[in-house]
């Protein structure tokens, strides 16, 4: 038993091991998602559950896992920049929709911020918790930065951002179907504003156009939210 424990510790200490586990978990989750054909079987959600379970069972610290998978974290920046390519190919349509997109962006950003804070206030959340809730619909690096600057709890914000993204990826398209929103650019933009990167990944599975406008919504919402939250926080007394 001691030999097995020592062997596991040696294997777990290898960065390649956890990198491989992460990739296999996602590939397995995609396999399940493709066959289940249900928005509930979200590959990001299933991957998180699989990797988190393995970390708990093996009593591996998150810091160890994160250090081993920094390469994937680094590639997130590259992937985000790459979202501009399909959008650039649709510049004419983007120009024609500029007015409605600006209105949708402001409405979506304000709704995401104020609804989260209102719900938190109604449930008796503390000031730091409210400041952690406010940027939940923004991509993780921006959301954590906003939370930290306002005196929130960045780890809590990160969890809320991931949960928001997964929820948006699961219910976003069925809700848009229910509302009879058919245009892929409108669908994608709405999903990007509401559920950032995870929603954008889901939008790309529907169509390249939906994914391109979802990436646009994600980026613009990050910028606008970073501007709006400090102003609203000062006006409404969150600070």
Q: What are the contacts of 84-87 at 24+ separation with CB within 8 A?
A: 84/215, 86/208, 86/209, 86/211, 86/212, 86/215, 87/212, 87/213, 87/215, 87/216
Q: How far apart are CA 86 and CA 210, in angstroms?
A: 10
Grade residue 104 by pLDDT with cuts at 50, 70 and 90. Answer: very high
Most confident of 49-53, 73-77, 197-201: 49-53
> Which pair of structure tokens corresponds to residue 87?
């959008």
Between 23-37, 77-91, 163-177, 194-208, the lowest mean confidence (pLDDT) is in: 77-91
**Is residue 109 very low, low, confident or very high in pLDDT (cuts 50, 70, 90)?**
very high
Q: Which residue has the higher pLDDT, 93 or 227?
A: 227
Q: What ranges in the chain are assigned the alpha helix state H?
A: 2-12, 15-36, 43-58, 62-68, 70-82, 84-88, 91-96, 98-122, 127-133, 140-150, 154-178, 184-206, 208-236
- Could you state, in order of their start, the residue ranges of all structural domains in the chain? 2-82, 86-236
Return the higher-pLDDT residue of 11 and 131: 131
What string of H, E and C letters represents the secondary structure of 158-206?
HHHHHHHHHHHHHHHHHHHHHCCCCCHHHHHHHHHHHHHHHHHHHHHHH
160 or 66, which is more confident: 160
210: pLDDT strictly greater than 70: yes
Query: What is the model's pTM?
Result: 0.77
Q: Decide: 212 and 86 in contact? Cβ < 8 Å.
A: yes
pLDDT of residue 190: 92
Under 8 Å CB-to-CB from 155, ≥6 apart: which residues?
none
Q: What is the pLDDT of residue 216?
A: 87
Say if CB 189 and CB 101 are below 8 A apart. Answer: yes
The percentage of residues in the chain with a pLDDT greater than 70, rounded to a whole number, is: 91
- Rounded mean pLDDT of 27-50? 82
């Amino acid at each position: 038993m001691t030999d097995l424990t020592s062997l596991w510790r040696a294997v777990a200490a290898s960065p390649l091991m956890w990198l491989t586990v992460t990739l296999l978990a996602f590939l397995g989750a995609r396999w399940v998602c493709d066959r289940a054909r249900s928005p509930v079987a979200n590959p990001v959600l299933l991957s998180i559950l699989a990797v988190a379970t393995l970390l708990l069972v093996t009593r591996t610290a998150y810091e160890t896992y994160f250090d081993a998978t920094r390469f994937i974290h680094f590639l997130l920046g590259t992937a985000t920049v790459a979202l501009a390519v399909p959008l650039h190919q649709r510049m004419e349509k983007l120009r024609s929709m500029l007015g409605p997109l600006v209105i949708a962006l402001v409405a979506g950003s304000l709704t995401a911020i104020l609804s989260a804070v209102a719900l938190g206030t109604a449930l008796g959340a503390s000031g730091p918790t409210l400041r952690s809730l406010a940027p939940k619909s923004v991509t993780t690096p921006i959301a954590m930065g906003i939370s930290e600057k306002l005196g929130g709890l960045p780890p809590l914000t990160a969890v809320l951002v991931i949960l928001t993204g997964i929820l948006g990826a699961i219910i976003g398209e069925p809700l848009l179907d229910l509302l009879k929103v058919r245009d892929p650019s409108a669908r994608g933009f709405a999903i990007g504003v509401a559920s950032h990167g995870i929603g954008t990944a889901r939008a790309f599975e529907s169509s390249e156009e939906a994914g391109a406008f979802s990436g646009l919504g994600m980026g613009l919402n990050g910028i606008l939210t970073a501007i709006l939250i400090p102003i609203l926080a000062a006006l409404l007394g969150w600070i």
